[in-house]
Amino acid sequence: MKIAVQMIGYFMPYLKEGRDVELSFAKEALKNIKEMGYDGVQLSGFGRVTDEIIDFYRDTCKELGLKIVATHINYLDLTEKLDLVIKAHKEWNCDLCGIGAMPINYQESYEKYIEFANIIDSIGEK
């Protein structure tokens, strides 16, 4: 496989405005990535995980011949919708799930860092 590309750069205009990425835009971005010769993609910055998002990226990447090699998932999805996140990764045949960033409220003290690490460890076990 050639090197994979991360999607967040494509989605930055949406992120700056606090909007969900339009799926028609995402499909064009994925087509462009494939046309540039990439075989893999890291899904980042696409918004919250939903069944529609799972289906869209599974079907679109399959159609284009792109492998989803990794993701960055919203922290709230990891804590509130973990079953859906797990379902997404199974359907995407993707083993690597990362968090985009540690929430700021966990960066206040050593104790908060440890609390965050324990939360993430428990998520990782599942």
pLDDT digits (tens, 9 = 90+) for 32-50: 999 999 999 999 888 889 9
Please report the pLDDT score of residue 79 as a whole number.
95
Asked if pLDDT for residue 58 goes beyond 80, the answer is: yes
Residue of 106 and 14 predicted with greater confidence: 106
**Which residues on adjacent β-strands are paired with residue 73?**
99
CA 71 to chain centre: 4
| Three-state SS letters, 84-116 | HHHHHHHHCCCCCEEECCCCHHHCCCHHHHHHH
Q: Is 73 helix (H, G, I), strand (E, B) or coil?
A: strand
Q: What percent of the chain has pLDDT over 90?
A: 70
Domains in the chain: ranges and CATH: 5-125 (3.20.20.150)
pLDDT band at 101 (very low <50, low <70, confident <90, very high): confident
